[in-house]
Amino acid sequence: MSDLPILAVLPELLRVLREGTRAVLVAPPGAGKTTAVAPALLGEGWCSGEILLLSPRRIAARAAAERMAALAGEPVGKTFGYATRLDSKRSAATRVIVVTEGIFVARIEADPELAGVSAVLFDEVHERSLDGDFGLALALDAQAGFRPDLRIVAMSATLDGARFADVMHAAPVIESEGRSHPLTVRHIGRRAEARIEDEVAGAIRRALREEEGGVLAFLPGVGEIERTAERLSEDMARLDIALHRLHGTLDPAEQRAAIAPTKDGRRKVVLATSIAETSLTLDGIRIVVDSGLARRPRYDRAAGMTRLVTERASQAAVTQRAGRAARQGPGTAYRLWEAEATAGLPRFDPPEILEADLSSLVLAIGIWGVADARELRWIDPPPAAAIAEARSRLEALAAIDPDGRPTPHGRAIAALPMSPRLAHMLLLASDKRLAAEIAVLLGERGLGGNDIDLETRLRRWRGDRSAKATAARGLAERWVSLAPLPGREGSKAR
């Protein structure tokens, strides 16, 4: 901890937050911003309440809380805790709560004054998720209208601090050096006719022969991870190498096993989605194998649905991936494309707000009390065409009136943490328990397997006694309790 680069700029950050209320912190991966900043704020005179640290992913939220607690020599849930949709550990003594961006948006919508909160830290803001952008806009609006004493810090791993500083009323930008270890990048290409699983498995075998340390391989999705694991399982068992999967649908215990160091110094291979690009440090990793592919949600306006699309990863993403190999020492990255192809990759992943279905956002903005979304401070404002489309969809659901004002039914929809369409289904369903279970299945990939038959998945999930499945059943129960009876939809408004 004492050698983290972020420690060199913490005094400057503390000074800025004593003299003002906003700051932008630019720190490369490995600098230590996720786990060092929040603990440093606890001793400040202005910080008498909670610190909310926002994370774009559940696994990263848990890992950050566990890391800070371990450094403090405490159990998780004492000074440092976390809260995600399916899992939380906190107590009356908790001062730093790591939350997912969606959890924060729900909290500030329910309590715009953020009572008892001294600071909000937005980690990995460069990822530009919809909830992240919206959460920052709401926090700035709440600060201007209710909480001039609230500290807001935007933390980015890329050199885009000026854009965030501008939207945050010319906030000071503080830049940290990264932790520098030598990184060798090898472009090994791939056969166009070969399956990506075969190419990744072959690259992993080669890397294990040529280099020391563990391997982190990036694949686009769960299916590719499972098929690659099938190709490697016999070899890894023979070589006594631990083989792990790492993606968002796994049980938390399996995710922790992939992140933690292996016993007795065994080598390990971790097959991961883009979930491992940022925020996480995987102990023992010295090699990265990158497929160059990613699977991302894209809104299909013709179908009116969000689909997962496999596409080339961006230059920013592949740079982040390669850097995973050199977090703890010299590393090597194997890329399954030719070097000259890197320039043809998109520079960044597009901000989600420019491509997503904005129905939930438009409804939430209306309930927030803002007539025009442009009144809020955005890094990129939501497109006018997407807002008009969302309003049309919400009006069809009777969630807003012709003037765009939320109806009692719309407020009941907004009180449920799911898409407006699913919330509408749940509110009107005669069997609310079944409707809530279906909503959970559609929102949580992997529950009950990946069968396209919802009835089969529902039956498997009901019989699953894993921690994740049990937590998901509890979530369905909460949703049932939030859904008002027909004719009483105004009673659950936020």
**CATH number of the CATH domain containing 458:** 1.20.120.1080
Reduce the DSSP state of residue 184 to 3 states and report it: strand
Q: Which of 90-94, 217-221, 478-482 has the lowest mean pLDDT?
A: 478-482
Per-residue b/e over 448-473, b at no fewer than 16 CB within 10 Å?
Answer: beeeeeeeebbeebeebeeebbebbb
Q: Which of 75-79, 116-120, 439-443 has the lowest mean pLDDT?
A: 439-443
Instruction: Give how many domains the chain has, as a whole number.
Output: 3
Mean pLDDT of the chain: 91
- pLDDT computed for residue 492 by the predictor: 38
> Do 384 and 342 reside in the same domain of the chain?
no
> Do 282 and 403 reside in the same domain of the chain?
no
> Do 305 and 195 reside in the same domain of the chain?
yes
pLDDT tens column, 376-432: 999 999 999 999 999 999 999 999 999 999 999 999 999 888 889 889 989 998 888
Residue bearing the bigger pLDDT, 492 or 295 = 295
Domain coverage including residue 123: 5-175
pLDDT tens column, 18-39: 999 999 999 988 889 999 999 9
- pLDDT computed for residue 452 by the predictor: 76
Q: Are 256 and 242 in contact (CB under 8 A)?
A: no
- pLDDT computed for residue 142 by the predictor: 98
- pLDDT computed for residue 61 by the predictor: 94
Q: 280 exposed, middle or buried (CB, 10 Å; 0-12, 13-18, 19+)? A: buried
- Among 159, 175, 191, where does a domain finish? 175
Per-residue b/e over 342-353, b at no fewer than 16 CB within 10 Å?
Answer: eeebeeebebbb
> Do 157 and 198 reside in the same domain of the chain?
no
> Do 337 and 476 reside in the same domain of the chain?
no
> Do 311 and 212 reside in the same domain of the chain?
yes
> Do 43 and 73 reside in the same domain of the chain?
yes
pLDDT tens column, 345-390: 998 888 999 999 999 999 999 999 998 898 999 999 999 999 999 9
Taking the C-alpha atoms of residue 134 and residue 143, their distance in angstroms, rounded to an integer, is 14
- pLDDT computed for residue 480 by the predictor: 84
Confidence tier at 442 by pLDDT (50, 70, 90): confident
- pLDDT computed for residue 465 by the predictor: 85
CATH code for the domain of 309: 3.40.50.300
Q: How far is CA 352 from CA 200, 355, 366, 444, in A?
A: 28, 5, 20, 19
Q: How far is CA 116 from the centre of its chain?
A: 25
> Do 217 and 152 reside in the same domain of the chain?
no
- Among 175, 205, 220, where does a domain finish? 175
> Do 344 and 385 reside in the same domain of the chain?
no
Closest CA to 61 of 5, 102, 25: 102
> Do 77 and 198 reside in the same domain of the chain?
no
- Among 118, 151, 175, where does a domain finish? 175
- pLDDT computed for residue 486 by the predictor: 53
> Do 149 and 15 reside in the same domain of the chain?
yes
- pLDDT computed for residue 494 by the predictor: 34
> Do 170 and 207 reside in the same domain of the chain?
no
- pLDDT computed for residue 485 by the predictor: 53
